Structure formats: C-alpha cells, structure tokens
Chain A
Amino acid sequence: AQKITQTQPGMFVQEKEAVTLDCTYDTSDPSYGLFWYKQPSSGEMIFLIYQGSYDQQNATEGRYSLNFQKARKSANLVISASQLGDSAMYFCAMRDSSGAGSYQLTFGKGTKLSVIP
C-alpha cells in the first residue's frame, strides 16, 4: 500500500490565486514528520515546509502553509498568491520509523503545478 498519495498528477492555477496540493499519508507510527519539497525543471529539490505529528498548529512559511488534518491523515500544501516561479513539481514526503533508518523519507509521486499568467 502506498504510504504517501498525491492524487493530482497536474494542476493549473491562475497567477495571484491560491492553490491547494493534496497529500494523504498512511502510517501507524504515532511520531512522524511530513514535508513538502519543490522541484523546478533544474532538478534541485527545495525544502518548503515541515509539519510534525505532535505539532498543534499548522505549519506556515511565507506563502506556504500546510493544512494538517491528522484524523484524515492529510497534509495538503496551500500556496497563496501564486507566482510564475511557482511552476514546478511538488512532492509530499513522510518520515516515520518504519524505514531502516529513522530519518528515511517516503515520497509521493508528485504534482506538477503550472501557473498561468
């Protein structure tokens, strides 16, 4: 079974609008971390935001916020005021203790976001 599911292969958003990228996860570990990364066409993976399973508040970093719904096991990324430079692949990832090492990440398949001028 997939541990991280990103159901949107591609998304379009108008410049200056907000967009939500979906991510659901599956783990039985009470302690875990959720991450979002951005990968532009250049290939580098850029860390955007982190949410710990015990964090009481949703994480925010500038225009990025993470809508963490623990009971639903979802960790959607919200990008406000989209910019042309936001066009990229976005990966959701989870760290729990099920891997061989405690720091291992499991990645979703990604969502390609295209911002329309």
Chain B
Amino acid sequence: GAVVSQHPSRVICKSGTSVKIECRSLDFQATTMFWYRQFPKKSLMLMATSNEGSKATYEQGVEKDKFLINHASLTLSTLTVTSAHPEDSSFYICSATGQVPGETQYFGPGTRLLVL
C-alpha cells in the first residue's frame, strides 16, 4: 500500500513556541492531504483539508491562524502549531490521498505533541 511518513513522531515544547509537523507521501502523489487531531480514547477529528498549491480548508472551530497548513508540493504538507499552549497537547495525524484505488486515505504514523 501507499506509504505516508510524518515527522517528528514526538515533540515536547515550551508554551509559546511554534512547532512544525511534516507529512510526506513517499510513493505516490498526494493531491489532497488531511490533518486530524485525536484526543485519548476518542475518534479522529478532522482539522483541515489541503490541496496542493491552494489554501487549506479548515473545519468549523479550528483556528486558521493557530494551525497553519502548507501544501507546497504533491508529496509534502506541513502543519505549524503557532504559539503552542498546553491545551494544544494532542496526537496529530495526517493522511494523504491521490490517484489511489477508492481514493483511500493513507495515514502517517502520527505526532504526539506535549506543550509544557
């Protein structure tokens, strides 16, 4: 199946700093990438959808200025959590889809963010 990588896998930062998370599709061109947030023992919550070369579409309640998404190429999308606060601590996971059967979303391994 298609492979999606995500980096870093784990990050601890101080409150007020910004954190960048990268999501890469390794063996296919991802025309669309998604960013999710998952709280412990909960389902995935879609934060935003990004198409290569255009602005991301954010879900209701997700702050655009807080969670900056860039999808500059067909294999890379980044999520930057700006001025992170402890309430931003969570598991962030990206997915990618493109010219794959069923338009299946393939997920990265996720990033655990802890803001102190």
Q: What 9 pairs across the A-B complex have the smallest Cβ distances?
A: A45-B107, A50-B102, A43-B110, A44-B109, A107-B43, A101-B49, A109-B43, A107-B44, A103-B32
Q: A91-B44, A100-B57 are in contact. Are A42 and B97 (CB under 8 A)?
A: no
1/0 per residue B76-116: CB within 8 Å of A?
Answer: 00000000000000010101010001111111111010000
Q: A43-B109, A45-B93, A104-B34 are in contact. Are A52 and B102 (CB under 8 A)?
A: yes
The answer to whether B103 and A33 have CB atoms under 8 Å apart is yes
Residues of A within 8 A of B104 (CB): 35, 47, 50
Residues of A within 8 A of B61 (CB): none
Q: A43-B91, A44-B110 are in contact. Are A104 and B49 (CB under 8 A)?
A: yes
Residues of B within 8 A of A45 (CB): 44, 93, 95, 107, 110
Tally of B interface residues using CB under 8 Å: 26
The smallest beta-carbon distance between B47 and chain A, in angstroms, is 12
Residues of B within 8 A of A103 (CB): 32, 34, 49, 97, 103, 105
In the assembled complex, A64 has its CB within 8 A of some CB on chain B: no
The smallest beta-carbon distance between B58 and chain A, in angstroms, is 9
In the assembled complex, B13 has its CB within 8 A of some CB on chain A: no
**A residues with CB within 8 A of B:** 33, 35, 37, 42-47, 50, 52, 91, 95, 100-105, 107-110
Most buried by B among A50, A52, A105: A105
Chain B 23-47 residues near chain A, CB threshold 8 A: 32, 34, 38, 42-44, 46
Known A103-B32, A103-B49; 16 more pairs at CB < 8 Å: A33-B102, A35-B105, A43-B38, A44-B93, A45-B107, A45-B110, A47-B1, A47-B105, A47-B106, A50-B102, A95-B103, A100-B49, A100-B57, A103-B34, A104-B34, A104-B46
Residues of B within 8 A of A101 (CB): 32, 49, 51, 57
Residues of A within 8 A of B105 (CB): 35, 47, 103, 105
The smallest beta-carbon distance between A75 and chain B, in angstroms, is 13
The answer to whether B102 and A110 have CB atoms under 8 Å apart is no
Closest chain B residue, CB of each to CB of A35: B104
Residues of A within 8 A of B42 (CB): 109
